[in-house]
Amino acid sequence: MSEMNGHFERGRWVLDPPPTPEPEREPEPAAAPGVEARMQEASQSVRKAVNDVVSAGNHLLRTQEGHDHIEQAARKAGEDLERAINAWAESARLALQRR
């Protein structure tokens, strides 16, 4: 007998069928991140946001461009406040005239 794959069945040599390749499995989807992973992601996000705010503050305080921006914002706030006070004063004046 040759060295073929097979086995004896009822006293006779029976060839085994050739092996069939296993179908390729699709990779399993990644599991949803666990609580620890999500907490770590959130912590990193907060840390980045704080660093961005600090960086922007440093830019405002340490550069001429930042100083100009602060000055513009202060002037606009002053103008807005002046308009609000004038509108309130006018409203009060009209209310007193109606009496």
Tokens 């406040």: give the residue: 81
pLDDT at 47: 94
pLDDT at 34: 87
Tens digit of each residue's pLDDT, the chain (99 residues): 456 677 778 888 888 887 777 788 877 766 677 888 999 999 999 999 999 999 999 888 899 999 999 999 999 999 999 999 999 999 999 999 988
pLDDT at 39: 92
Task: Give the C-alpha separation, 51 to 60, whole Å.
Answer: 14
Helix, strand or coil for residue 8? strand
Lookup: tokens for 65 = 């461009």
The pTM (predicted TM-score) of the whole model is 0.47
